């Protein structure tokens, strides 16, 4: 699976063949088919493994977060880890593969759901007791947060320039204290119907 992830990040989805994975992992390509049945099944297993590891890291990194300022800082650190580890590139390549290979589409999409559920947990914790909790559906915020994260990465991956993502975190750092103050001062939680 490590060889598959490495190949995926270096060669892209369509360059990640059994031969390329075997070359990177210094293994016989027949092992891929013996253990996984296909390259796509291997790539999905590798995506599951890296996503599980990263989601555990995100859970640990955001476990105590209750303010937007702290959330922006933690997300900036975690994003850098995603870039350095190759996780975010691997995910983007699988999204590209899912967009091009109909049989993978639902498989890749299903692997986003744990991230949406996690975003729901974090957003629920940050907005608990505030007017936002009653005004905006948390499910919509969670989905849009995950979509924004992957959208940003899709665009930076296409352009090969991660500086725009870094700029977004810098902007987030400027506005997060304002958002925290608004959330703390918003005590009205009346009828939103």
Q: 131-166: per-residue pLDDT in tens?
A: 788 888 999 999 999 998 888 887 887 787 888 888
- In the chain, the percentage of residues whose pLDDT exceeds 90 is 68
Asked whether residue 39 is assigned to any structural domain, the reply reads: no
The verdict on residue 189 lying in a domain is no
Tokens of 160: 């090969």
In contact, 3 and 32? CB cutoff 8 Å? no
Contacts of 186 (CB under 8 A, 6+ apart): 130, 131, 132
Residue 19 resides in a domain: no
Give the DSSP letter string of 138-151: HHHHHHHHHHHHHH
Q: What range defines the domain where residue 137 resides?
A: 55-184
pTM: 0.86
d(CA 144, CA 121): 14
> How many domains does the chain contain in total?
1
Q: How confident is the model at residue 33, as a pLDDT? A: 95
90 falls within a domain: yes
């Amino acid at each position: 699976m490590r060889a598959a992830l490495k190949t995926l990040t270096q060669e892209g989805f369509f360059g990640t063949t059994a031969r390329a994975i075997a070359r990177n992992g210094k293994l016989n390509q027949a092992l891929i088919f013996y253990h996984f049945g296909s390259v796509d099944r291997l790539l999905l297993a590798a995506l599951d493994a890296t996503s599980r590891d990263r989601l555990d890291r995100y859970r640990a990194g955001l476990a105590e977060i209750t303010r937007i300022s702290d959330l922006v800082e933690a997300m900036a650190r975690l994003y850098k880890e995603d870039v350095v580890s190759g996780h975010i590139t691997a995910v983007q390549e699988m999204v590209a593969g899912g967009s091009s290979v109909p049989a993978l589409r639902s498989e890749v999409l299903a692997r986003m759901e744990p991230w949406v559920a996690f975003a729901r947990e974090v957003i629920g914790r940050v907005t608990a007791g505030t007017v936002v909790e009653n005004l905006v559906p948390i499910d919509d915020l969670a989905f849009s947060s995950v979509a924004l994260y992957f959208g940003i990465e899709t665009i930076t991956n296409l352009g090969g320039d991660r500086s725009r993502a870094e700029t977004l975190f810098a902007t987030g750092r400027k506005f997060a204290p304002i958002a925290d103050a608004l959330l703390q001062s918003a005590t009205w939680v009346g009828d939103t119907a």
